[in-house]
Amino acid sequence: MPNADPESKLSDLTQAQRERLAYIDVKAYFCGELTRSDIEKRFGVKPAASSRDLATYREIAPGNLSYEPSLRRHVPDDNFKPVFAHSPGRVLHWLQSGTGDGLDLGLKLAIPCESASELVCPDLGILAVITRAIAAKRLVKVEYLSMSSGKSTRFIAPVALADTGLRWHLRAYDRARSRFSDFVLTRIVKAVALPDQADESERLESDVQWARVVRLELGAHPGLRHPRAVEADYGMKEGTLTLDLRAPLVGYALRRWAVDCSENLSLNHLSHHLYLKNRATLYGVESASLAPGYISEKAAEDGPL
């Protein structure tokens, strides 16, 4: 049974100790496992120190972790209750920075996670189920609120988190559609972890669109009277801003930046200061249906559900 007053024990610890315990808390909860080596690599401490930290954490929250001797790892119990208050934005940033809290420690990302967004706050319990499933390559049963079909139950294999600049998305294999799709993270209202492993075809390495990196060459819209002002805004070199993005994020980025992707540059230059110079690069990019002016007559069927 968890300690009734963990705050009093935390207050007796040094700041450095609290930081290490917070790391244990968030790593176990959102990644689904923790080893002594994780603590040692993150903080540069000796094995004896990492053992003391784990012992202290167990004393404060005895119902949170179980130890698997065969794998030498700690895993969160079903009744895990975070000791620290974690904000969604902080957790997402933490995942994005390779569990290094913003420090350049050369740590491997806990899960595939691109960029960050500030305005949306997914439920932490749901986020934990999703991130643990990504790390363990397992399936999740979710209740999802779709803009096109309303509330439904889906069986998905989550593979990565990504940000469109406005909100966080989940990239996952959707068994109902037999394909990889984008799900808006905050539209998942319930998530239940399943013991089933994702098939090889449902894993990140099988997502052809995610693996594809698209080079975008953006320029100031030719319709602008003073294009050099826009070139200065974006720090363009020789009139071009070059960006490399994963294919599933391309359409969202072009829409967010209001880039004219029409064949004849027919969009209003006053609201579309940029245009896509190498339009052919969008060939085969599923998310391109979201790009302003690009195949505008086609519904954005490859966008978020």
In a domain, 108, yes or no: no
Q: Give residue 299's pLDDT band: very low, low, confident or very high (50, 70, 90).
A: very low
CATH, residue 79? 1.10.10.10
- Give CA–CA dist 284/208, Å, rounded: 11
Largest alpha-carbon pair distance within the chain? 69
Amino acid type, 239: G
- Give the DSSP letter of residue 198: P
- Would you say the pTM of this structure is higher than 0.75? yes
DSSP structure class, residue 119:
S
- Residue 15 inside a domain? The answer is yes
Q: CA triplet 57, 191, 207: central angle to 5 degrees?
A: 100
Same-domain pairing of 252 and 193:
no
Does the residue 22 lie in any domain?
A: yes
Tally of structural domains, the chain: 3
125 contacts: CB under 8 Å, gap ≥ 6:
191
The residue segments making up the domain with residue 125 are 113-204
In tens, the pLDDT along 144-198 reads 999 888 999 999 999 999 888 778 899 999 999 999 999 999 999 999 999 999 9
| Between 97 and 93, residue with greater pLDDT | 93
Q: Which of 51, 86, 121 is the last residue of a domain?
A: 86
Same-domain check for residues 179 and 132 = yes
Q: Are residues 21 and 81 in the same domain?
A: yes
| The pLDDT value given to residue 109 | 58
| Residue 121 in this model has a pLDDT that exceeds 80 | no
The predicted pLDDT at position 190 comes to 96
Are 191 and 268 part of one and the same domain?
A: no
Assigned domain for 136 exists: yes
Task: Compute CA distances 170 → 44, 114, 141, 164, 206, whole Å.
Answer: 33, 11, 14, 11, 16
Same domain, 58 and 18: yes
E strand map for 82-223 = 113-114, 138-146, 150-163, 168-174, 179-184, 188-197, 213-220
Give the pLDDT of residue 247: 96
So what's the pLDDT on residue 163? Answer: 83
Q: To 10 degrees, what angle do helices 88-96 and 124-136 make?
A: 20
Last-in-domain residue among 164, 187, 204: 204
* Higher-scoring residue by pLDDT: 202, 100: 202
The verdict on 125 and 200 lying in the same domain is yes
Q: What is the DSSP letter of 246?
A: E
**Spacing of C-alpha 289 from chain mean position:** 22
Residues 198 and 277 in one domain: no
Asked if residue 106 belongs to a domain, the reply is no
Q: Token pair for residue 97?
A: 């920075």
When pLDDT is averaged across residues 124-134 and rounded to a whole number, the result is 95
**Average pLDDT taken over every residue of the chain:** 88
- In the chain, the percentage of residues whose pLDDT exceeds 90 is 72
Number of Cα atoms under 13 Å in the Cβ half of residue 292: 19
Q: Which of 180, 204, 228 lies at the terminal end of a domain, its last residue? A: 204
Are 119 and 49 within one domain? no
DSSP-assigned beta bridge partners for residue 161: 113, 170
Q: What is the CATH number of the domain that holds 167?
A: 2.30.30
In this structure, are 217 and 166 located in the same domain?
A: no
Question: Strands 150-163 and 168-174, how do they pair?
Answer: antiparallel
Tell me whether residue 174 is in a domain.
Answer: yes
The two tokens of residue 223 are 């319709």
CB 281 within 8 A of CB 269: no
> What type of residue is 180?
F
Residues 220 and 195 in one domain: no
Residues 10 and 53 in one domain: yes
Domain membership of residue 297 (yes or no) is no
Residue 102 predicted with pLDDT over 80: no
**pLDDT: is 140 or 119 the higher one?**
140
Facing residues of 172 across strands?
158, 181
Classify residue 259: in a domain, yes or no.
yes
Same domain, 117 and 199: yes
